[in-house]
Amino acid sequence: MTPTPHGKIMLVGIGPGNVEHMTQRARSAIEEADVVIGYVTYIKLVADLVEGKEVIRKSMTEELDRAVSALEAARQGKKVALISSGDAGVYGMAGPTYEVLFQAGWTPEDPVQVEIIPGASALNSCAALVGAPLTHDFCAISLSDLLTPWPTIARRLDAVAMADFVVALYNPKSGRRTRQIVEAQRLFLRHRRADTPVAIVKSGYRRRQKIVFTTLDSMADADIGMLSTVLIGNSNTFVRHGLMVTPRGYANKYDMADGGSTREGERPGRSLSTGLLGWLELVKLEHAEGADVATLALRHRLPQDYIASVLAAPDEAVEAETSPEEDVA
């Protein structure tokens, strides 16, 4: 294949690891490439596309080398595809690649172009396999302490467990890292019910796919490995007919049993009565009725200085809600 005059680095997210779940652009980027760099398992997945190309197989721990090799080849005018599973920007090669590029003096004006090709990340694919667990606020936390200090990871686990996020745990366990998932469970149990639903997806959309439903108090005993993603529900998540579902919140506004009629005090297309403005009115009323800042902070589980500052803020915002909102429901 003839090298293009200007090289290019393409960071290709190939999805969970099955050809059907790769995007068109991921395929065409690999087809377009002169050089394909990636972890052996992922190269195997796209074996049909890499025939006749220069292929650089690297192991997990050689991420920076991979980025350096990509830059060297691109400087020679080659198009390089760096393959990541899932999305290249989610615990993938996109970050390390930009770091290496910046270190080498690269800027967006450089003749070497960079394109990031998004892919379905493990949390998307694993969620799709178990139902609809991410329909409300969620976050991802990697339990890998290879590059992140444990107190940082633990602090994040504690914060999101307290804040009732649905959580996807990446890199939950490996041959050498077995204690992290136990500690994650310990931190979560301080804030969440023992029977909080947990789904463990191993090798999603791959040949050895395995899905297990369990609960927070038993999750550390489950079969978890390098290729597993652990999905922990929030306080409203439930499992029915083998499907894990996190309610979107429609039941707060509509009576689901009653054919979907709007609940008293609520209006379609407007914030909930307990949305920001309704809540501000309530806090002010409670304050006027004698509840002090400390009591209100405890009652609403928010910091005292935040409660104090909303009480001190001028009232005008309350009258500002005259136009309908853009979001539905």
227 binds ligand SAH (CB under 6 A): yes
Who's near 177: CB < 8 A, 6+ residues apart? 143, 144, 145, 171
Interface characters, 249-288, with ligand SAH (x: CB under 6 A): ----------------------------------------
Measuring CA to CA, how many Å separate 261 from each of 85, 254, 270, 278, 304?
44, 5, 15, 20, 37
Nearest CB to ligand SAH, comparing residues 85 and 196: 85
92 binds ligand SAH (CB under 6 A): yes
C-alpha gyration radius of the chain: 24
How far is the C-alpha of 326 from the C-alpha of 113, rounded, in Å?
37
Q: Any idea which residue has 């394109």 for tokens? A: 115
Who's near 324: CB < 8 A, 6+ residues apart? 269, 270
Interface characters, 133-172, with ligand SAH (x: CB under 6 A): -------------------------------------xx-
How far is the C-alpha of 21 from the C-alpha of 24, rounded, in Å?
9
Site for ligand SAH in 199-218 (CB under 6 A): 201, 203-206
17 binds ligand SAH (CB under 6 A): yes
Query: Among 31-39, 87-95, 105-113, 315-323, which window interacts with ligand SAH (CB under 6 A)?
Result: 87-95
Residue number closest to ligand SAH, CB atom: 86
Nearest CB to ligand SAH, comparing residues 132 and 277: 132
Residues 106 and 112: beta-carbon distance below 8 Å: yes
131 binds ligand SAH (CB under 6 A): no
Residue ranges binding ligand SAH (CB under 6 A): 16-17, 84-87, 90-92, 121-122, 126, 170-171, 201, 203-206, 226-229
